[in-house]
Amino acid sequence: MSQETIRYDDAIVRKFVTATIVWGAVGMLVGLWCALQLALPSLNVGPYFTFGRLRPLHTNAVVFAFAGNGIFAAVYYSSQRLLKAAPLPLLSKIHFWGWQAIILAAAITLPLGFTQSKEYAELEWPVDLAITVVWIAFAVNFFAMVRNRRERHLYVALWFYIASIITIAVLHIFNNLVVPAGLFKSYSLYAGVQDAFMQWWYGHNAVAFVLTTPFLGLMYYFLPKAAERPVFSYRLSILHFWSLVFIYIWAGPHHLHYTALPEWASTLGMIFSVMLWMPSWGGMINGLLTLRGAWNKVAEDPVLKFFVVGITFYGMATFEGPMLSVKSVNALSHYTDWNIAHVHAGALGWVGFMVFGMVYWLVPRLYQTKLYSKKLATTHFWVATVGIALYVISMWAAGITQGLMWRAFDETGRLQYPDFLETVTRLIPMYWLRALGGALYITGLAIGAYNIYRTWRARPAAYAEVEVAVPPMVRATKLAAKRAKGEHWHRKWEGLPALFSVLTAAAVIVASLFEILPTFLIGGNVPSISSVKPYTPLELYGRDIYISEGCVNCHSQMVRPFLDETVRYGMNGQPAPYSQPGEFIYDRPFLWGSKRTGPDLAREGGRRDELWHLRHLEDPRSTSPGSVMPSYPHMLADDIAWDDIQSRVDAMAMLGVPYGPALNHAPEMAREQAAALAAKLEAAGGPKGMANKDVIALIAYLQRLGVDIRNSQGGTQ
Amino acid sequence: MTRLSEVVSALSPTHYAQLALLLFVGVFVAVAIRHGGKRRAAEHAACAQLPLADDDGAKR
């Protein structure tokens, strides 16, 4: 009887590798542009290419385009070989072209200001639906390979892929539940504290299941291949997997320490974050010890160089992460560039280097020729390593500097740096150093891209098909055995993928429910405040401009219960009340932010007059010399879309916001408020004719921030 | 009929944390026992070889 053969589909892997490099270059160049904008604000080109609009484009491009395509390349190459099964060609095509179309949609919609504002989940609902469809195509394609496999055992790399596919689907669906208020406008199903909780449940696990678990799968497959040695301990890899999957999902609330999130949730997030240290380091040790007896190869092989440093960065980042989740450390680090350093140690060091190592290993095999230049690959490695070091060290220094400056009091008991701007301008030299580090990293990528291009040029005229002899399908064996004498031990193996998927989903869902249910169902988590009222139609529209411009990327709205913050954001010599859960019940989405390049705005209402805001938005440096904020002159020229206001109020009302008369008269009410504000501006010497302009709506929103809570205290602030 | 919010509210948040920890320890111990013994050493060794053997016999 002749043995069956199958052909691996390496064409799909070649496509994903190309997309990885192309989108990696785009995403990182946008990142460099953002970095330079913080040092040189004139590089903000309004209205479409300001920091607030480009920063989500950078993060989405790097996370979902660079890392995403890299993951797909790894999954398609390794799964075919580990399962001895080929993917379905049509689904592979839908997956590849669908994913690239989504990235293109992101590249267009984000600069246009279409955003949900939630970090790493900014894309609006039509794009979210497309992501769901393409992800299902990918999942079906992957599980079809698992079903048609001819290798009984599922290697551990596949477990990590399964966990990623399932969990990303769960996270994406539940964090993006919205009520549309237009083709590219929606409001979150959750409000305030609950929205914040859901977002960071998603956000942290996006880091886990997009930037960690698939790359661990990649490590467990490609590192043994490159080192020509089996993984150090397969047993440890199993413990690594289950511990990681079980623990990661709990850790999200550490992004919300000292906010209005209930303390129990924050503490739970911290404890599980510290516990994460164990499996993470177990994985790192397992990776590094795989090179036992092969360390001499590291000196010569750029692939292993990338892998070793990548895994080392995994160890460093997963040490730093739990450390930053400890509340006392987080009190200093949160909202500063320390988080940016941490994220980039993981993204540039772990994710980037694992991708580059994999690509350098794959390229000669995919293009069926020798790598053009090992020397260039080594140069790429060293240039990028120096780049990461400059980036991370400068951002550590910037973060710790800013955190310490915010909390410093002088000997008389006053804030030592009461002007927030002083804590920003002090960081400019470090921002330049960061830009240099980023530029070096991109230079390394350019060298790599050239090397890959030259390798591709040397490919054969036609690729030889990769054909392998394979045993019968596992499920066919199982059926035959079952027919012969009932149940067979193969059944156990056949059932394993389903069992795995169920157990993984259970670990993720059960853990999530332990945090989500109490957060949503215990009324005491969000005590109501009677003075907190819905935004007026004009303020709601202004809030949407704030969202659209990405102001949340630089301004938090969360006064933490620290003396320096209540003093800094107070008014008339009185400290501000710290933020409370009940303040945010109408905030869809929440806008607490995660970084303060500018000051917190939770108590901004009434601190300055309308004319100051107008001048500041038109040209921030006219009111705040040295500010790095983009200018928004277009807001003084763009007309308010009055016709859109009613549908937005209606959507909020559908979510339970008690709008009363605004349900039928939202545009009229908005015009009335805008006219009054414009008259006030004119009276103060401001420009005429602002009653129809976007700037009025945004000023109305800014002047509302914190007013309700001040009213709850009898206006005594 | 008892509402879910009443059931959830009946437990204090501390209980959720304790239950979560017990759940994790249980899963960890179960996995450790299942895979920790020498009985599975040969199986693990064979599994670890999978990436190294996956191109065996490949023809181009």
pLDDT tens column, B18-51: 787 788 788 888 888 887 777 788 888 989 999 9
Which residues, listed in sequence order, are joined to residue B59 by a DSSP beta bridge? Answer: A467
For residue A333, give both structure tokens. 């680090």
Confidence of residue A480 (pLDDT cuts 50, 70, 90): low
**Residue with the two structure tokens 């009443």:** B6
Task: Tell me the chain B residues in contact with residue A250 when contact means C-beta distances shorter than 8 Å.
Answer: 20
Determine the average pLDDT of the residues in A345-356: 98
Within 2-21 of B, beta carbons closer than 8 Å to A belong to 4-5, 8-9, 11, 13-14, 16-17, 19-21
Locate the chain B residue with the closest alpha carbon to A222.
B51
* Mutation site, A9, A79, A234, interface B, largest B CB count within 10 A: A234
Map tokens 């592979």 to a residue. A92
Q: Which of residues 611-640 of A touch B (CB under 8 A)?
A: none
Quick one: pLDDT band at residue A715, thresholds 50, 70, 90?
Answer: very low
| CA-based nearest distance B2→chain A, Å | 13
Q: Write down the pTM of the prediction.
A: 0.94
**CA-based end-to-end distance of chain A:** 88
The end-to-end CA distance of chain B, in Å, is 67
Mean pLDDT, residues A43-56: 96
Contact B8 A368 (CB under 8 A): no
How many Cβ atoms sit within 10 Å of the Cβ of residue A660? 11
A490 pLDDT higher than 60: no
3-state secondary structure labels for all residues of A690-715: CCCEHHHHHHHHHHHCCHHHHHHCCC
Comparing alpha-carbon positions, the chain A residue that sits nearest to B38 is: A235
Domains of chain A: 4-469 (1.20.210.10), 537-712 (1.10.760.10)
Give the tens place of pLDDT for each residue, A138-194. Answer: 999 999 999 999 988 899 999 999 999 999 999 999 999 999 999 999 999 999 999
Q: What is the pLDDT of residues A491-511, one digit of tens each?
A: 455 457 778 788 888 888 888
CB contact under 8 A, A521 and B58: no
Q: Which of B16, B19, B47 sits opposite A234 (nearest CB)?
A: B47
State whether residue A3 sits within 8 Å of chain B by CB: no
A467 and B55 within 8 Å at the Cβ level: the answer is no
Which single residue is written with the structure tokens 């009434």? Answer: A606
CB atoms within 10 A of CB A498: 12
Chain A residues within 8 A of B44 when measuring between CB atoms: 234-235
CB count in 10 Å sphere of residue A482: 14
Q: Does A228 touch chain B (CB under 8 A)?
A: yes
Q: How far is A265 from chain B (nearest CA, A)?
A: 8
A264: which strand partners? none
Residue A236 near chain B (CB below 8 Å):
no
Each residue's pLDDT tens digit, A250-305: 899 999 999 999 888 899 899 999 999 999 999 999 999 999 989 999 999 999 99
SS3 of residue A441 by DSSP: helix
| For range A384-406, the mean pLDDT | 98
SS3 content of chain A, % helix, strand, coil (to 5): 70, 5, 30
Pick from A61, A70, A41: which is nearest to A108 by CA?
Answer: A61
